[in-house]
Structure 1
Amino acid sequence: MNTSPSPAGAERTDGSSVRIGALVPLTRPGWVEAGRHLLAGLDLGVREVNDAGGIVGRPLELVVRDTAADPQRAVAAVDELARLGVAALAGEYHSVVARAAAARADALGLPFLCSSAVLDALTEQPTQWVARLAPTQSHGWRIFADFLLGAGHSRIAVAAEPSVYWASGVRILRDCLAPHGGTVIELGVRALGPTAVCDELVGNRATALLLLVGHPEPAVSIVKSVRRDQRLAGITIGAPAGQPEFAEWATLLGDDSAAIPFLRYLPERLSPLGTRVEAVLRERLAEAPSFVAFEGYDTVAVLAEVLRSHGGSHRADRARTAESWPRVAVEGTRGQIRFSRAPGISVWQWDWPPIQVADRDPAQPDRLRTLHVG
């Protein structure tokens, strides 16, 4: 998909449509497959709103900008979209990018419903302008830590790249594991190649390795090296950030893609709405939709409900939109969506989306199985 707005075609300036600015990673180094799924969900949501009559008779229009996982590019896109008169912002997958976009949206007084980013500190100070659908990193990764402890892991290595997001993940894991006698061993992949990572795992007697690194590289190379090292035949590889959710993971790794637990934000069983949306998204994507696609659809469902009452681009309209976050009650694909102020979180938060720990079935790597429910 490109960055042309959809479904309404050319960007309108005559006020005939209600516009949502969508921030999506569509080119490298952004996680392109996640961006494609997010945009598919956003686009389907907009099309269904318009099929049902739009926003009080006015069509809803999606104005898409590619962030390419670049915070500065995202800030520039927020400025541009504000000038274009969007009523609200939606989307973004990468946490560090979403944080930059949220700070700019807060400064401009532009409502932003973040679809997928999980970093706890999405804004420095509490704000009325930003709400979020995805669970916080601390909530989801605590569930992942509980899963590891339940599976008997106490010496856990993390292959980590320098990043606010990955550093936050390491802190969460240490805080969760330490009271139970668990140890987190940090392996910096900028200094260690895949073979050296394997040597460190053996030397540290780690029973699990978590991939806190970019996709596809160096994640794919590390998995291949560990899987082929006979000294590490019994080690568990995990990817809490969700890399194995996407079909590209199985394509790149084949049988090595299986039995790598990850976090996904779906219920054990979809509602009738979720089942219907899943079927449409599967046809549009030509593959099973990830939880990110459902996040995109739910984002539009929430914004459409809010904009039906306050759907304008003037600052007063935008302020009323932001003031409505705590009054939202929308049936999404994964349950009823309501926002509240979660302790220690500076934005309005869906408290909480459903969370699973899942992996790809070794007997059938194209099938996902649920291992643990948060």
Structure 2
Amino acid sequence: MMAGWGIRAATGLAFALAAIVPSAAQDPIKIGEMNSYKAIPAFLEPYSKGMELAVEEVNAAGGVLGRPLEVVARDDGANPGDAVRTAEELVAREGVDLLAGTFLSNVGLAVAEYAKQRKVFFLASEPLSDKLTWENGNRYTFRLRPSTYMQVAMLMDAVEASGAKRWALVYPNYEYGTSAAETFKQLLKERVPDAEIVTEQAPPLRKIDAGAVVQALADSRPDGIFNALFAGDLAQFVREGQTRGLFDEMAVVSLITGEPEYLNPLGGDTPTGWAVTGYPWYGIDTPEHDAFLSAYQEMFDDNPYLGSVVGYSTIKAIAAGIEKAGTTDTEALVDAFKGLTVETPFGDVTFREIDHQSTMGAYVGSLDLVDGEGRMVDFRYVSGEEVMPSDEMVRELRPAD
């Protein structure tokens, strides 16, 4: 890529990252960004576009502290070990000022530990594991998206309203999935004390045997299903379940299924009536989202995905944090992020001082078919503040910085 572009990607990435910075700008602020671009393209291609839009907006307005932003992007191989090596390359060889990104929870946890050991600022954009800001939380790591605990909590009203008492769980067998399942069991016991878990199915990530999973669920005779599968695993599970009638007269609550990255590929196979968290970009009517939607569609001639919002908000948060700190010094940046408020397409979000978790929320609604395509309907925005654990709970789980 030519010198002066605001986002610089590793050789071999299959998509362009090209926000231009002012030609006279010197000494860019370098953001070392790593993600599972090749493994999770449905989310991360829109994510990169969201970053690109934000970098262009920030640099067009004069940059941060009079300096342009530059994103140095790398693929982390969807592997914790590779991600740590990538982080070290970005810090030691590229001389980045801070780290950001990651998608998979196990990868995010590995980079968070690296940030702690190396005393490097790290904004985890996407990983949802509760451990990131609780058990494994540290001074140098902050998280943008609502955690598994927060998103499961958003669905508990639907769980209680369903009247279901025999629950089956299906989730990918890695950190995000197991974290979501444990939270669901905890909150189910609190909200529906006489409910029971009749089976748990935890297929390996991206290696689901959908027929066997659906059969095991059917054999357990549940009246409710909690699902945390996503991407290709979700599509296979849905289609096999639809074929066998698993979801007929079944209460289903499902994490992140309403995100366009995972909902769009289902098309006419979209199951109706599921309670989900997601991003109904087509129905949000707020000034912040309208401005983002217009700018995104104009720049890319495409509609946004949740990844677009996350990438955009990641850059905006970093810019606001550096502006508040008045420097890229790590310790000053950490202190600036505590209590930092940032405007995002979902409105203002604040990074809590106690656990470094932002108050970004998510939309909660139900699935339906509209003109043959899956859509979220009857949705509302749930702020992270409504579903965050108490300070007392956080203090019990999180080590002192």
Which TM-score band applies after superposition, normalised by the shorter structure? 0.7 to 0.9
Query: Aligned-pair distance for 1:17?
Result: 0.8
Question: Is 1:257 matched up with 2:294?
Answer: no
Structure 1 segment 70-89 matched on structure 2, within 5 A: 70-83=79-92, 84-89=94-99
Q: Is the 8 A contact 2:159 2:253 kept in 1?
A: no
Two-structure CA RMSD over aligned residues (Å):
2.9
Q: Deviations over 1:302-350 (max 9, x none)?
A: 211222354655xxx12111111124222222122222145xxxx4111
Q: Give the corresponding residue for 1:109.
A: 119
Query: Aligned-pair distance for 1:5?
Result: 6.3
Query: Aligned-pair distance for 1:201?
Result: 2.9
Query: Aligned-pair distance for 1:287?
Result: 3.9
Q: Give the corresponding residue for 1:292.
A: 307
Query: Aligned-pair distance for 1:244?
Result: 4.3
- Match for 2:151 among 140, 147, 155? 140
Unaligned runs of 5+ in 2: 1-12, 383-401
- Quick one: distance in 1 between partners of 2:186 and 2:298? 42
Quick check: 361-370 or 112-121, which moved more? 361-370
- Match for 1:363 among 356, 370, 374? 370
Question: Is 1:176 matched up with 2:187?
Answer: yes
Q: Deviations over 1:106-144 (max 9, x none)?
A: 211111112222211116554221111111211211222
> Match of 2:350, as an amino acid?
R
Q: Given the superposition, is the C-alpha separation of residues 258 and 118 from structure 1 closer, same or farther in structure 2, using an over 3 Å criterion? A: same
Query: Aligned-pair distance for 1:285?
Result: 5.0
Q: Is the 8 A contact 1:266 1:354 kept in 2?
A: no
Q: Give the corresponding residue for 1:353.
A: 360
Q: Given the superposition, is the C-alpha separation of residues 295 and 195 from structure 1 closer, same or farther in structure 2, using an over 3 Å criterion? A: closer
Structure 1 segment 196-211 matched on structure 2, within 5 A: 196-211=212-227
Q: Give the corresponding residue for 1:245.
A: 259
Q: Give the corresponding residue for 1:45.
A: 54
- Match for 2:109 among 95, 99, 105? 99
Structure 1 segment 144-159 matched on structure 2, within 5 A: 144-159=155-170
- Match for 1:25 among 13, 20, 36? 36
- Provide TM-score, normalisation by structure 2: 0.79
- Quick one: distance in 1 between partners of 2:208 and 2:67? 55
Percent of aligned pairs with the same residue? Answer: 22
> Match of 1:100, as an amino acid?
A
- Match for 1:122 among 132, 138, 151? 132
Query: Aligned-pair distance for 1:7?
Result: 2.9
> Match of 1:129, as an amino acid?
Y
3-state SS of 2:131 partner: coil
Q: Give the corresponding residue for 1:61.
A: 70
Q: Give the corresponding residue for 2:173.
A: 162
